[in-house]
Amino acid sequence: MKAKVVEVFRSVQGEGKYIGAAQVFVRFAGCNLNCSWCDASHARDMNAPGLLEYTPEDLWVKVEKLWMGCHSVSITGGEPLVQVDFLKEFLPILKIYKIKVFLETNGTLSDALHAIIDDVDIVSMDVKLPTSTGGVAMWDEHVKFLRTAWGKDVYIKAVISNSTQMEDMVRAVEMISKGDPTMSLFLQPNHFEIDKGVMDKCLEFQNYCLNYLSDVRVVPQLHKFMKLQ
């Protein structure tokens, strides 16, 4: 079996709970969503020209060369769970070498997560707020996904745009508080609107969320400011 991969590289995590940590990033091609603000739109197309193809063993050889001293391997995309059959073969190789698996996901493919959850250590889950993404609401999918992820090191990110409405934050807070109100929620300002007033909206939402959740942080994408991948 081979996976379609956009790139494999070493850098620092630029978002969320492990910001600044050294990681090897494996960016898988393909995504089941089409968010309006996506900063990895080049990874959506499974048939895009120039994609790399790896067997699980070949991908491990690539990762091993970059791995020394890293905190974890980031399985990202696109949406990596689109290629879950490959992950079922690749992730056990990482576990043999006691390497932490850090899954970056849109939190909508719970059946795929269930198939690999035993080999995942950290789940960085995006909540797709419909007034941010311009897409359909995914609340039921997110709830089912979180139920599958409970017990792992899970945190949630939500991209905040000028279009984001409070009604979406209310739904997100309700979903998180019913599961684990101590779970970290990261409000991530849309990088393309960071100088257009979106920070004020992030702070407004943070104040609301802190009435119900114990850890809510406003954190922009560090790697954008550092001009890293």
Please report the DSSP string for 174-203 in residue order. Answer: HHHHHH-TTS-EEEEE-GGGTTTTHHHHHH
Tens-place pLDDT, residues 52-65: 999 999 999 999 99
The predicted pLDDT at position 38 comes to 63
Q: Which domain holds residue 160?
A: 3-225
Decide: helix, strand or coil at residue 133. Answer: helix
The predicted pLDDT at position 37 comes to 57
How many domains would you assign to the chain?
Answer: 1
The predicted pLDDT at position 150 comes to 92
Quote the distance between the C-alpha of residue 149 and its chain's center.
13
The predicted pLDDT at position 43 comes to 67
What is the Cα–Cα distance from 58 to 206, expressed in whole angstroms?
A: 44
Q: What are phi and psi of 149, to 5 degrees?
A: -85, -15
CATH number at residue 131: 3.20.20.70
Tens-place pLDDT, residues 120-146: 999 999 999 999 888 889 999 999 999
The predicted pLDDT at position 44 comes to 73
